[in-house]
Structure 1
Amino acid sequence: MLGLDPVAARLFLPFVLLIGLYVSWTDLKGMRIPNASVVTLALVFVVLGPFVLPFEIYGWRLVHLVVVLVLGFALTVAGVMGAGDAKFLAAAAPYVALVDLRLMFMLLAATMLAAFATHRAAKHTALRRLAPDWESWERSRDFPMGTALSTALTLYVALAAFS
């Protein structure tokens, strides 16, 4: 059993899935994660969380958002990650129970490897013709990390929903 309550996860899942798909697409297409998608992801938790989580858990999960936002800002300033990735991680943080952090890191590692391999393979095959105007094809050093981040969050919430 995961730390995210299955009832809460079932409520969050459709929103996380749709926002995640949008984040993936915008990051692949334009190498950016729109602020509106990050704010929406955070608002879904802020608005729906009190209805499905005990108040104490809900409050601590909001602390996750602030802590990850501060850490993400520091990593962005240091040039380790993009600002959109840092903001997405902060907005996603309240959904993840602290006891599930190890699982979340494993999911993130797996989705990063899968997204990178898939993106690079598609970039050098005929699949690229399906979306010839994507900015991510042109970047050799940068990678659209929003794809891996949103997939990891969606998988985590789905695992909790059906556990």
Structure 2
Amino acid sequence: MLAVTAREAAFFLPLVVPICLYVCWSDLSMMKITNIAVLALLAVYVVLGPFALEMSDYIWRYSHLAVVLIAAMLLFAVGAMGAGDAKFAAAAAPFIALADLRLILLLFAACLLASYAAHRLARATPLRRLAPDWQSWEAGRRFPMGLPLSATLVFYLALGLVGA
């Protein structure tokens, strides 16, 4: 049983999806998650959160942002994560109910594996010609984490919408 409700998902999902699509595109094409996308995602939570959540949950979830931001900054400091990825993960954290932490970790793992496999397959096939200028093709070992991070948030909210 998910802790995220259909009501929360219905409020958040319509605005989160276009932001996440933009994050996927920008990270694949430029290997950057822009500050404007991160701020837009945070703005969705700030503005819609009081309508989607109980006020105590709404306020409590700002602690998710702080915890993820600190952890992500540490990962960035040791070179394990990009700055845009860290900021995006922190901005996405308030959308996640703490009770769904296990689910979100499993969902992220699945999205990461699927994204990595799809990106590497596309890079090695003629599909690459559809977007020949994407910087992610030539990024070597670096991987555009905006793709699995965005997919995780969208799938999580979509599961909440359908009441899975």
Structures share a fold, TM > 0.5? Answer: yes
Q: Deviations over 1:4-42 (max 9, x none)?
A: 121111110011111110000000000010010011101
Partner of 1:36: 36
Residue deviations 1:40-67 (CA, integer Å, cap 9, x gap)? 1011001100012111100111111111
Matched with 1:62 is 62
- Alignment partners' CA distance in 2, 1:146 and 1:29: 11
**Aligned-partner Cα distance in 2 for 1:127–1:52:** 40
Cα deviation code 1:66-122 (max 9, x no counterpart): 111111111111111111111010000000001101000111000100000000000
Equivalent residue, structure 1, for 2:133: 133
> Hey, what's the Cα distance between the residues in 2 that align with 1:60 and 1:5?
16
Please give the TM-score of this superposition, normalised by the length of structure 2.
Answer: 0.97
Match of 1:85 in 2: 85
Question: Percent same amino acid at aligned positions?
Answer: 54
Secondary structure at the counterpart of residue 19 of structure 2: helix
Alpha-carbon RMSD across the aligned residues, in angstroms, is: 0.7
Do residues 156 (structure 1) and 160 (structure 2) align? Answer: no
Q: Which position in structure 2 is the counterpart of 1:110?
A: 110
Residue 100 of structure 2 corresponds to residue 100 of structure 1 = yes
Aligned equivalents of 2:111, 2:91: Cα separation in 1: 18
Counterpart AA for 2:120: R
Q: Aligned residue pairs: how many?
A: 163
Q: Partner residue of 2:5?
A: 5
- Paired with 1:36 and 1:133, the residues of 2 have a C-alpha distance of 22
How many Å separate the matches in 2 of 1:125 and 1:155? Answer: 27
**Secondary structure at the counterpart of residue 61 of structure 2:** helix
Normalised to the residue count of structure 1, the TM-score between the two structures is: 0.98
In structure 2, runs of 5+ residues without a counterpart are none
Q: Which runs of 4+ in 1 moved over 3 A?
A: none
**92-101 vs 5-14, which moves further:** 5-14
